[in-house]
Structure 1
Amino acid sequence: MDDYVANFPEDTVNEILLRCPVKLLLRFKCACKNWYALIKTPKFIQQHLKKNRSPLQLLIYDIGDIDDDSCPMTLISEENSQTFLGMQDLIGYVDGLFLMYGQINSAALWNPATREVRSLHLPSPIIDYSPNFGLGIDPLTNDYKVVYFLHYKAAVYSCRRDSWRVFKIEDFDKPPPFDKEVRRTYGTAYLNGNYYWLLINNNISTILLFNFGREMFEEIEGPDPDPKSPYVYAFGMMLLDDSIAILNKKMVEKFYYDIWVMIQPGVWNKLITFQCFPHFISCYDSSLILVTRASRLFSYNIRTNKTRYLGFQHSCLKDDAAFGYSGCGVFYYKESLITIKQQEDGELDH
Structure 2
Amino acid sequence: MDDYVANFPEDIVNEILLRCPVKSLLRFKCSCKNWYALIKTPKFIQQHLKKNHSPLQLLIYNIGDFLDDSCPMILISEENSQMFLGMKYVVGYVDGLFLMEGQINSATCCALWNPATREVRYLHLPTPIIDYSPDFGLGIDPLTNDYKVVYFLHYEAAVYSCRRDSWRVFKIEDFDKPPPFDKEMCRTYGSAYLNGNYYWLLTKNNINTTLLFNFGREMFEEIEGPDQDPKFPYVYALGMMLLDDSIAILNKKVFENFNYDIWVMIKPGVWNKLITFQSSPRIISCYDSSLILVTRASRLFSYNVQTNKTRYLGFQHWRLQDYAICGYTGVFLL
TM-score by length of 2: 0.86
String of CA shifts for 1:217-245, please: whole Å, max 9, x gaps: 11111001001122322221111111100
String of CA shifts for 1:282-332, please: whole Å, max 9, x gaps: 11121100111222111111122221110111233115735xx72211111
Structure 2, unaligned stretches of length 5 or more? 1-9
User: For the Cα contact (< 8 Å) 1:105–1:124, is it kept in 2?
Assistant: no
Which residue type is aligned with residue 93 of structure 1? Answer: Y
Superposition pairs of residues 139-150 of structure 1, within 5 angstroms: 139-150=142-153
User: For the Cα contact (< 8 Å) 2:155–2:171, is it kept in 1?
Assistant: no
Q: 1:37 to 1:193 in 2, by over 3 A?
A: closer
In the aligned structure 2, how far is the partner of 1:320 from the partner of 1:207?
28
Corresponding residue for residue 344 of structure 1 = none
- The answer to whether the aligner puts 1:328 opposite 2:329 as a matched pair is yes
Superposition pairs of residues 183-194 of structure 1, within 5 angstroms: 183-194=186-197
Corresponding residue for residue 59 of structure 2 = 59
Superposition pairs of residues 108-127 of structure 1, within 5 angstroms: 108-127=111-130
Alpha-carbon offset, residue 183 of structure 1: 1.4
Q: 1:50 to 1:242 in 2, by over 3 A?
A: same
Superposition pairs of residues 263-278 of structure 1, within 5 angstroms: 263-278=266-281
In the aligned structure 1, how far is the partner of 2:152 from the partner of 2:230?
33
- The answer to whether the aligner puts 1:306 opposite 2:309 as a matched pair is yes
Which residue type is aligned with residue 118 of structure 1? Answer: R
TM-score by length of 1: 0.82
Corresponding residue for residue 75 of structure 1 = 73
Q: What is the aligned counterpart of 2:243 among 227, 240, 243?
A: 240
Higher RCO structure, 1 or 2 (CA under 8 Å, sep 6+): 1
Which residue type is aligned with residue 326 of structure 1? Answer: G
Corresponding residue for residue 5 of structure 2 = none
Corresponding residue for residue 218 of structure 2 = 215
Q: 1:153 to 1:37 in 2, by over 3 A?
A: closer
Corresponding residue for residue 200 of structure 1 = 203
Corresponding residue for residue 133 of structure 1 = 136
Corresponding residue for residue 7 of structure 2 = none
Corresponding residue for residue 262 of structure 2 = 259
Alpha-carbon offset, residue 26 of structure 1: 4.4
In the aligned structure 2, how far is the partner of 1:228 from the partner of 1:83?
48
Q: 1:181 to 1:48 in 2, by over 3 A?
A: same
Structure with higher strand content? 2
Superposition pairs of residues 281-296 of structure 1, within 5 angstroms: 281-296=284-299
State the number of aligned residues: 319
In the aligned structure 1, how far is the partner of 2:116 from the partner of 2:294?
25
3-state SS of paired residue (2:53) = coil
Alpha-carbon offset, residue 45 of structure 1: 3.9
User: For the Cα contact (< 8 Å) 2:153–2:181, is it kept in 1?
Assistant: yes
Q: 1:145 to 1:64 in 2, by over 3 A?
A: same
3-state SS of paired residue (1:197) = strand
3-state SS of paired residue (1:81) = strand
- The answer to whether the aligner puts 1:84 opposite 2:84 as a matched pair is yes
Which residue type is aligned with residue 139 of structure 2? Answer: G
3-state SS of paired residue (1:76) = strand
User: For the Cα contact (< 8 Å) 2:46–2:95, is it kept in 1?
Assistant: no
Corresponding residue for residue 96 of structure 1 = 96
Structure 1, unaligned stretches of length 5 or more? 1-9, 334-350
In the aligned structure 2, how far is the partner of 1:44 from the partner of 1:169?
36
User: For the Cα contact (< 8 Å) 1:198–1:236, is it kept in 2?
Assistant: yes
User: For the Cα contact (< 8 Å) 2:30–2:36, is it kept in 1?
Assistant: no
